[in-house]
Structure 1
Amino acid sequence: MADLGLAGRRVLVTGGTSGIGLAVADTFADEGAHVGIIGRSPERLRAAVEDLRKKHPDSIIVGETCDISSEPDVQSTTNKLVSQLGGLDHLVSSAGISGSLGHAVDQVPAEEFLEVQRINVLGPFLAIKTALRHLREGEDATYTLIGSDSGFVAVPGMLAYNASKGAIVQLTRALSTELYNDGIRVNSVCPSIVDTPMARDGLGIDSFHDVGYPVSQPSDVAWLVLSLASPRFGAVNGVSLLADYGYHARSTFPA
């Protein structure tokens, strides 16, 4: 088996109670890492921590609820979890919302547009701002953001989400440049549709069975996150890794 070099590492995952974030936490723990998760729901947090501890009895698993758009909340939560983990080597920002879908620009309330940016853009900014001093002391430190193919391509009715994920692409570039001298690599994983509760709710479907297009599982995305975080991938920095089965390369021009 390939050794990703992540055993014993200390990892913090926002949005770690469900979907991609939970899969990331689970997969890191599979590699022998110690994991802290942050989520909004106390009920989901308790369930996630309990499940992860049962599956990974040799790993430290801790969790806290937090409003990721509040700097004081993120600061105190990060410090508490990092203290429990004994340090921090890897940070993953997975928390995100889609906002309501299918609305034209003149039907999107300004506050809803801003709420999507608060969670999807301000949240990752606050995560790295508050964790930075800990990562500077970490080993082969990395910050990996969960973006989307929606940061590269667009369809009508997803304006707020498209804008937020486009910001993640540039935030990845900017942070990789700014933190280069700190030895902290910054990358993002940008999947197309992933079978998560958020995706099902946003599309208004109960199942992706027979939808006619490829759909990733959260574990698929988790492996990409671990690969980018691994010291084996030390040359990879500032990359927004598209994971969309090549759909971005296909022209839709009507000719």
Structure 2
Amino acid sequence: MELNLAGRTALITGGASGIGRAVVTALLDEGVRVVVLDRAERPADVPESVRWHSGDVTDEEAVAAAVRDSGDLSIAVGCAGISGPVGKAPTEIGRDDFARTLDVNLTGQFLLAKHAAAAMRERGGGAIVFLASDSGFVAAPGMVAYCASKGGLLMLAKALATDLADDGIRVNCVAPSVVDTPMSRADLGLTEQGFDGQPFPVHQPEEVAAAVCYLASDLARGVNGTTHVLDFGGLARSTFPA
């Protein structure tokens, strides 16, 4: 399957590791010019062709500067995100921790879309893809802030898709379940041993990146305002005891 993305320009937030890094690699392999915005400094093994901006997605000027540096922008992928307070009861979560989770996972995505859409409008359209989660549909214990932020992100994509459709800009989400990333390993206390032998299926970042690339391509030109769920069928299964 040819995605025909060569020659386009993409901005990826959170591209230093995990899913974001896999998206950077996948788009480079497709011949896309890549710009990254991440709080982390540029990793030594990132190709020199990648333009790197060190900044926070909640800093609107940092986002705007990365968009300006992207030039002829046609793809924006929001991968930056945090887990927030994990394993805490709602009564134990501080206001600042809750607000910070929403600020990164939801407001940061809005800022990316706001500035990317303005640039895309000038060139006649583009594609915005957010990294959401199955936690936007179903809740796990001890993840109130994360679930709330990802649930809001699903509706943010729908609202943006509605408002930006006339500009030729599509907005969609990819919502995986557990992905083997440094963040998920830390959340689940598996930093050392990884996911081998765990009693649940786990995605590799490259699998999620492939879904992102599809949604960014013209093959998905009819896909707008939707969420592509990667959860091994978890949402499909009823809790009915049969």
Poorly superposed stretches of 4+, deviation over 3 Å = none
Calculate the aligned-residue CA RMSD, in Å.
Answer: 1.3
The structural deviation recorded for 1:138 is: 3.5
| Matching residue of 2:220 | 233
| Matching residue of 1:78 | 67
The structural deviation recorded for 1:139 is: 6.0
Number of aligned residues: 240
Retained in 1: the 8 A contact 2:124–2:168? no
- Equivalent in 223, 238, 249 of residue 236 of structure 2: 249
Task: Please give the residue correspondences for 1:28-43 in structure 2 after superposition, counting only pairs within 5 Å.
Answer: 28-42=27-41
Q: In percent, how many aligned pairs have the same letter? A: 43
Over residues 86-144 of structure 1, what are the superposed CA-to-partner deviations in whole Å (9 max), with x where a residue is unaligned? 31010000000001211111011111000000000010001111222211134651000
The structural deviation recorded for 1:155 is: 1.6
Partners of 1:6 and 1:76 in 2: CA distance: 24
The structural deviation recorded for 1:254 is: 4.9
The runs of 5 or more residues in structure 2 that have no matched partner are none
Change (3 A) 1:224 1:197: same
TM-score, structure 1 length as denominator? 0.91
- Equivalent in 50, 62, 86 of residue 61 of structure 1: 50
The structural deviation recorded for 1:154 is: 0.5
The structural deviation recorded for 1:38 is: 1.0
The structural deviation recorded for 1:253 is: 4.2
| Matching residue of 1:212 | 199
The amino acid of 1:72's aligned partner reads E
The structural deviation recorded for 1:161 is: 0.2
The amino acid of 1:38's aligned partner reads L
Partners of 2:214 and 2:152 in 1: CA distance: 23
Retained in 2: the 8 A contact 1:26–1:52? no
Task: Please give the residue correspondences for 1:32-181 in structure 2 after superposition, counting only pairs within 5 Å.
Answer: 32-42=31-41, 45-47=42-44, 50-53=45-48, 60-79=49-68, 81-82=69-70, 86-138=71-123, 141-181=126-166
The runs of 5 or more residues in structure 1 that have no matched partner are 54-59
Retained in 1: the 8 A contact 2:161–2:170? yes
Partners of 1:238 and 1:139 in 2: CA distance: 18
Partners of 1:248 and 1:132 in 2: CA distance: 31
Retained in 2: the 8 A contact 1:149–1:244? yes
